[in-house]
Amino acid sequence: MYAPFELEMPGDLAGALDALAAGRDSKTVPIAGGTNLIVDMRAKRERPDRVVALGEVGELRGMDFGAERISIGGRTTVTDLLRSPEVAEAAPSLIESARLFAGLMVRNTATVAGNIACGSPAADLVPPLLSLDADVTLASAAGTRTVPLDEYFLGYKRDVRRPDELITRISWPRLPVPSVNTFYKLARRKGDAITVTGVALTLCAAGGTCTKARIALGAVAPIVLRARQAEALLEGRALTPALIDRAAAAAAAASSPIDDVRASAGYRLHTVEVLTRRLVSRAWDRFDRQGDQGTAASAAVPAHEVTAQRRAGSDGRSA
């Protein structure tokens, strides 16, 4: 089933980094949840010589909720995210994504760092994290560096991580008040599906003006990317339907999708525009209704219920 490989199971981070450093001359890969790697090895798309298993590396677990920033270990699983009320408050979009992430068994083992490091444009945790201005901490035996997630991806399945580096932590700043942070996954079915078009949005407002916009697009380009021109159109302005239309068109223009088995490029462009318009309009309406009072996340109801209601609004069911 698998080509033969050596398996190393270091007990701590230093051991893991040493194992990766030692393997620089051979094809050495780290494995966390393995939900991509095992599939690729089984299909013989990946044939590593050595596999460094991170299951025993405790330093990669744990979440830290500071006053300014949230920081989570790279081996945080998708299920860990869903079980954390603090993440639900600090990153509603991430929870919305996690809830629709693959199936339960995969959620129990797939990790945040693994989802980033796989480099897939359809990686569902990445648009939310991009919309949150997340940073990625990379460690190797030689040292540690932090790069903005926004600068992490170089191209299709290419990134700045060296083979001897691990993603140890992911962190992002707390959302300002008021703000809306949301994600919509468009797929061919509701459960356990690869994304056709994913849009994550952070929108902040003050005094009737949009103070900050982050629009991150999944599965519509070689990498998950931000729609910078669309963001720029919104920031510093009071949003009008015409302006939102222009931003939605700009988001589509930023996309460079392909035809694949899930959808055509044309459908993806159409839905980037539709979803961007929809998410921005709804977020702006929230500010209008709330008179700039409070964030979606800090409203009286728990964040996951807020997101549930938002989903209800988008698909027609009553919450």
Q: How far apart are CA 83 and CA 80, in angstroms?
A: 5
Instruction: Tell which one of 57, 60, 113, 196 touches another protein (CB under 8 A).
Output: 196
308 binds another protein (CB under 8 A): no
289 binds another protein (CB under 8 A): no
Q: Is the dihedral angle over the CA atoms 35, 39, 44, 45 positive or is it negative?
A: negative
CA angle 222, 227, 233 (to 5 degrees): 165
* Beta bridge mates, 140: 143
262 binds another protein (CB under 8 A): yes
Only one of the segments 14-22, 133-141, 290-298, 309-317 lies at the binding site for another protein (rule: CB under 8 A); that segment is 309-317
Q: How far apart are CA 264 and CA 258, in angstroms?
A: 7
Instruction: Tell which one of 63, 270, 294, 308 touches another protein (CB under 8 A).
Output: 270
5 binds another protein (CB under 8 A): no
Nearest distance, CB of residue 271 and another protein, angstroms? 5
33 binds another protein (CB under 8 A): no
1 binds another protein (CB under 8 A): yes
315 binds another protein (CB under 8 A): yes
Q: Are 51 and 8 in contact (CB under 8 A)?
A: yes
Nearest to 125 by CA among 57, 174, 79: 79
Nearest distance, CB of residue 261 and another protein, angstroms? 5
Instruction: Tell which one of 161, 278, 304, 310 touches another protein (CB under 8 A).
Output: 278
Burial class from Cβ neighbours inside 10 Å (0-12, 13-18, 19+) for residue 289 reads: exposed
Residue 110 vs residues 98, 151, 300: alpha-carbon distances, Å: 11, 23, 32
Only one of the segments 71-79, 171-179, 253-261, 285-293 lies at the binding site for another protein (rule: CB under 8 A); that segment is 253-261
56 binds another protein (CB under 8 A): no
The three-state secondary structure class of 23 is: coil
The three-state secondary structure class of 77 is: strand
Instruction: Tell which one of 21, 38, 141, 194 touches another protein (CB under 8 A).
Output: 194
Residues that bind another protein (CB under 8 A): 1, 103, 186, 188-194, 196, 256-257, 259, 261-267, 269-271, 274-275, 278, 313-317
